[in-house]
Structure 1
Amino acid sequence: MVRFLGEYEVTLDAKGRFLLPSGFKKQLPEAELRFIVNRGFEKCLTLYPANSWEPIHAKISELNDFDPKVRAFRRQFLGGATEVEADSAGRLLLPPTLRDFAGLTKNVILVAAVDKIEIWDADTYKKIFEEFSPEAFSNLAKEVMVKPDATNE
């Protein structure tokens, strides 16, 4: 299983391609340059190595088609999912509809997100940190990382 670390700024060319940074390439299994790019939960894209995508897709495939919430989720989650593979120069092409969804311009930041990579417009990503105080981050960390003590309930 891939476990990404790091954050890299890259540039999109006129066709919407970017070069996968060597820092991320080194973290991939050898010769794994096939990915699924998808809309993120926020206004970003998510780049899944194929081996990280397959269990997610398998789980979604098992959901009940008769549940309208399942259909809505699949539509949102799978609708833009596109397989991309690095070209001979090591570049990945982002489809125009996905670039538009995430508001990607020329400057993009690739962010490790455990077993996937988030792709953000650089200005949008930087604003997240400008608007998130250290105190708010500390409170969020406490909320998601610290389990409540069962004896104090």
Structure 2
Amino acid sequence: MSNFLGSHAINMDAKGRLAIPARVREDLAQACGGRIVLTANADEERCLLLYPESQWETIRPQIEALPNMNRMARRLQRLLLGHATPLELDSAGRILVPPTLRSYARLDKKLMLIGQGKKLELWSEERWFAWLDEPADDENMPSEMEALSL
């Protein structure tokens, strides 16, 4: 089971290639042999989601099973399934981010790779730090968070 934690500042070259940090690369090699699926985040945040292939194959049927006559479900399917791109880390631990995904997440040279347990998020560095500066929406806090003690 994957356990992706931490944040990593990384760079992407003009062709859209980026090197996965060594520690994350090791975890990906162990979890899925370096085979991943990169897709759009369906949330309002324009970032990308990076799943180990095995994790993606667990959630993919759940997304496909959503009622496509429901507008929100159809949007989720179009974003997640429509942008899903199987990739494999090369021998140097790099991936090539497709132009459509670079455009969707507004990725430029400086990026942030953010661990989220079973997956990772890939953000534009500028958008990541802007998101961090946004105030929290305490009014919509789920009850599970109210009981959380850190």
Please report how far the alpha carbon of residue 65 of structure 1 lies from its aligned counterpart in structure 2 after TM superposition.
Answer: 4.6
Please report how far the alpha carbon of residue 130 of structure 1 lies from its aligned counterpart in structure 2 after TM superposition.
Answer: 2.3
Partner of 1:145: 145
1:122-152 residue CA offsets vs partner (Å, 9 max, x unmatched): 01101122233xxx488887855224xxxxx
Partner of 1:150: none
1:2–1:29 CA contact under 8 A, matched in 2: no
Which of 104, 119, 122 is the equivalent residue of 1:119? 122
Partner of 1:53: 56
Paired with 1:8 and 1:140, the residues of 2 have a C-alpha distance of 29
Q: Secondary structure at the match of 1:26?
A: helix
Partner of 2:37: 36
Please report how far the alpha carbon of residue 67 of structure 1 lies from its aligned counterpart in structure 2 after TM superposition.
Answer: 4.8
For normalisation by structure 2, the TM-score amounts to 0.83
Paired with 1:139 and 1:25, the residues of 2 have a C-alpha distance of 38
Paired with 1:26 and 1:113, the residues of 2 have a C-alpha distance of 16
- Counterpart residue type for residue 12 of structure 1: M
Partner of 1:63: 66
Identical-pair percentage? 35
* C-alpha distance 61-129 of structure 1, shift in aligned 2 (>3 A): closer
Q: Secondary structure at the match of 1:79?
A: helix
Which of 126, 131, 141 is the equivalent residue of 1:128? 131
1:38–1:81 CA contact under 8 A, matched in 2: yes
Unpaired segments ≥5 residues, structure 1: 148-153
Paired with 2:137 and 2:25, the residues of 1 have a C-alpha distance of 30
- Counterpart residue type for residue 37 of structure 2: I
1:37-73 residue CA offsets vs partner (Å, 9 max, x unmatched): 0001221011111011011112223334555554333
1:6–1:23 CA contact under 8 A, matched in 2: no
Paired with 1:65 and 1:131, the residues of 2 have a C-alpha distance of 33
Paired with 1:146 and 1:111, the residues of 2 have a C-alpha distance of 24
1:37–1:46 CA contact under 8 A, matched in 2: yes
2:25–2:93 CA contact under 8 A, matched in 1: no
Unpaired segments ≥5 residues, structure 2: none
Partner of 1:80: 83
Partner of 1:105: 108
Q: Secondary structure at the match of 1:129?
A: helix
Pair member with larger Rg: 1
User: For this pair of structures, how many residues does the alignment match?
Assistant: 145
Paired with 2:62 and 2:134, the residues of 1 have a C-alpha distance of 35
